[in-house]
Amino acid sequence: MSAAATPRPSRTLRLLVVASVALPLLVLAGSGLVAFRTVVESTKGDMLRDMLVAESEASAAFAVYQLIAGQVASILGNASAEAIERQEQSLHARLAQAIEKAPQVQAVLVLDSAAHPLVSSRTYPINHRLDFADRQFFQALRSGREATYLGTIVIGRLDGQPHFIFARRRETTAGRFDGVIAVAVSPDYFRAFYDKLLLGNRAITAGLFREDGAVLARYPAPAAEERAAPPHDLLMAAIADNPQGGFFRGRAGPDGREQLIAYRKVPSYPVYVAEERSWASVLAAWRRLMSTHLIFGIPATLGLLMLSLLAFRRSQREQAALAKAREAIRQREEAEDALRQSQKMEAVGQLSGGIAHDFNNLLGVIIWNLEMLQRRLRDDDPRLRRPIEMAMKGAARAATLTQRLLAFSRRQPLEPKPVNPNRLVAGMSDLLRSTLGERIAIETVLAGGLWWVAVDTSELEAALLNLAVNARDAMPGGGKLTIETENAHLDEAYAATNGGEIVAGQYVLIAVSDTGVGMSKEIIAKAFEPFFTTKEVGQGTGLGLSQVYGFVKQSGGHVKIYSEPGQGTTVKLYLPRLAGEAPAAEPPTRAASASGDAARETILVVEDDEDLRASTVEALVEVGYRVLEAADGPAALRVLDAAPEIDLLFTDVGLPGGLNGRQLADEALRRRPQLKVLFTTGYARNAIVHQGRLDPGVELIVKPFTYAGLAARIRSVLEGKGAARS
C-alpha cells in the first residue's frame, strides 16, 4: 500500500491526543494558581499575626515612656533649674526609681532651657556644662511646634550607647519654654523582642520606624547598621496611600531584592512596625508545594485533579489555622489590654501614695495647730471660733481624701481578721437602709455554707457602703439594691484573661447589683481611676470606687464591673478564702482611755518633719508628759542612752540618717527590753507592713491624727492595752 493510502487518525483521536496533553496542563496550571494563592495568603497571615503582636508591644512600650515622662514632670513640678540642681542627688534617686521597672528605658535626662543637663537617672553628679542644643528633639520642642517629640537613633553623650529619645517639653507657669524631659530608649529591647517573636529567623527582617521613615529599631541589623540606615522610601510611599497599614511588594534592602512587606500604624503614636520577607522565599515555598503536586500528579489527569482537591483542602486548613491564629491574637490582645490597665493603675497608685504621704504630714501640722487654737481660744469669741471650726472640717475632709488615695494606692496598713461575710452583710442592713432611703429596696441573698475570709472589717464595710451609695446615685428615681454572697473558684483561664495578676483558687464572692442607669464600656475602663466621676461638680470626689479597688487588691482579691447602659450594674468583689477552720468568736476588748497619770512618764518623740515634731511635742507636754525629741535614728539612740527614764518611744517609720523607724525600735528594744514603742506613718511602709498587713505586735497610729486620738493611743500603749491600729 502506498503512503498516500495510509489511514490518518480520526478527528476524535486527534482531539483525544490533544486533550490528553492539554487537560493535564490546564489542571496543573489551575492547581499551581491555587497553590500560589494559598502560599501567599498563608505568608500574609503569618506576617499579619506578627504585626498585631509587634503593634501591641510597641503601643505598650510607648505608653510606658509617656507615663514615665509624665511622672518625671510631676516629680519636678514647676521647680526652677537652680532648684533642680540643688536637689540633684535626691532627684537622681527618684528618677532612677521611676524607670527601674522599665528595662527598655536606658535613662531619663532633664535639660534646662539652654540645653544643659540638670539631672539624670543614670549619672550623678552630672556634667552641667554639656550642651545638647544640636539634638533634634531639643530644637523641635524649643521651637514650640510640639508638646512631645520622638527622635532618631543617636549615640548618648553620657554613656556612649545608642538610643532614641522620647522627649516632653517643660514650661513655666507663664507658658514659656523651660527645658526638656528626655526618655532614652534602647533599640536593643525591640531587637530582642523581634528575635523572640520571629523565633530567631534572621531571614526575616522586622523594624520600628518613625512616620517619616527613620529607623528606630531593626532586626537583625547590628547597632552600627541600624544607625546608618536611610529612611525607608518604599514604606513612606505605602504610608502615603494607606496610613493605617497594609501589604505591598517592592525592591528593598542593600541587595535590592524584591520583598513582601507588611506594616501597621501604632495607635496614638507617630510610629510604624514593619516586617519584610523576600519574595524569593515565597516562591520557594510555592515551588516546594508544587513539587509535591508534580511528583504525584504527572502520571494522570485524575492524580492532578486529586492534588488540586488536596491543595484546596490544604487552603481550607490554612484558612482555619489563620482564623485560630487571629482568635489567639484577639485573646492575647485582651490579656495585654488588661495587663496595661493594671500597670497603669499601679503607676497611678504609686504616684497617689507618694502625694498622700506628703499631704498627711502637712495635714498633721494643720490639724495640730487648729486644735491648739481651739483649746486656747476663749469661749466668748465666736468670731474666731467659727473660722477655726470650718478650717478643722476642711482639714478632716482633706485627711479623708488622702486616706482614700492611700487605699487606692494600696499603701494603707490593714489589720485583717477572720470574718464571716454573711454576718457582716446582715449586720449592715440597718445602716444601708438609713443611708439609701425609702425609695431604694434592699435585698440580701446569702449563700449557705459560705467560707470565711481574712480582711480588715472596717475597710470591707466601707467598700460595701461606697458601692451602695454609688448604686443609690445611679437610681435617682428609686430602684432595687441586691447584695449576694457565694463561694467561687477562679481558674487559670480567667486569671490569664484578666491581666495575669489574679491567683487561681477559691474565693468568696460578694456581688452588689442595682437597677440603675448602667455604664458604658468606656466608663467601666476608667471607673477605678482616682478622681474619675460621672457625677456633677460637687456631687462626689471620684475616690469611692478607687478606695474599693485598692482595698480588694491589697487584700489579695479581685474586683470586676459588669454593666450595660440602661441595664443596671453589678460589682463583684472576690476575696480569698480563709485557710483552715473558722475561728471561734473572741470576746470584745475594752478600748483604752486617754486618762492616766502622765506626770511620771517620759516620751521620746522621733520625727524628721520639724513642724510636725514641734506640734506633737507641744501637745504631749500640754497633756502632762515629760517629752524628749530627736530628728533621726542616731540622735534618738543618743537621747535614749542619756535618759534611762524614757517610758515610750514614739517614732515615725520613715526617717533619715541611715535608720528607719523599725530599725530604731529594734535597736532601742535591744538596749531597753521594757521600752514601749508606738509607730506613726503617713502610709504603709515595708518596714512594718508586709503584703498590706501590719507585722505582729506592731502598735501604729496613722497620720494625720488628732490631739485626743494621740493622747488616747499613747495612754493605751503605756497601759499595755494597745490595739494594732488607730
- Say what the alpha-carbon torsion angle 429, 431, 433, 434 is, to the nearest 10 degrees: 160
Architecture of the domain made up of 78-280:
2-Layer Sandwich (3.30)
Q: What is the pLDDT of residue 582?
A: 62
pTM over 0.95: no
Cell 488588661: give the residue.
338
In the prediction, which pLDDT does 394 show?
Answer: 64
Q: Measure the CA–CA gap between 543 and 399, rounded to whole angstroms.
A: 13
Helix (H) or strand (E) holding 23: helix 11-76
The low-confidence residues of the chain, meaning pLDDT below 70, are 1-25, 27-28, 222-231, 253-255, 293-316, 318, 331, 333-365, 367-368, 370-386, 388-389, 391-415, 498-501, 530-544, 580-599, 682-697, 721-726
Hey, which bits of 466-532 come out as E strands?
A: 479-490, 505-514
The domain ranges of the chain are: 78-280, 353-408, 417-576, 602-718
Residues across the chain: 726
Q: What is the pLDDT of residue 257?
A: 82
Name the residue type at position 675: L
pLDDT in the model for residue 111: 92
User: Which CATH number is 602-718's, of 3.90.226.10, 3.30.360.10, 3.40.50.2300, 2.60.40.3880?
Assistant: 3.40.50.2300
The Cα 248–Cα 256 span in angstroms is 15
> According to the model, what pLDDT value does residue 79 have?
87
What 8-state DSSP symbol labels residue 248? Answer: E
Residue with cell 532614652: 184
pLDDT in tens, 576-610: 888 766 665 544 444 444 444 455 789 999 998 88
DSSP string of 626-660, one letter each residue = EEEEESSHHHHHHHHHH-TTEEEEEEESS-STT--
Pick the CATH number of 417-576 from 3.50.50.60, 1.10.3720.10, 3.90.226.10, 3.30.565.10: 3.30.565.10
C-alpha cell, 243: 496610613
Which H helix or E strand runs over 706? none
The values of phi and psi at residue 386, to 5°, are -65, -45
Joined grid coordinates for residue 142: 524649643
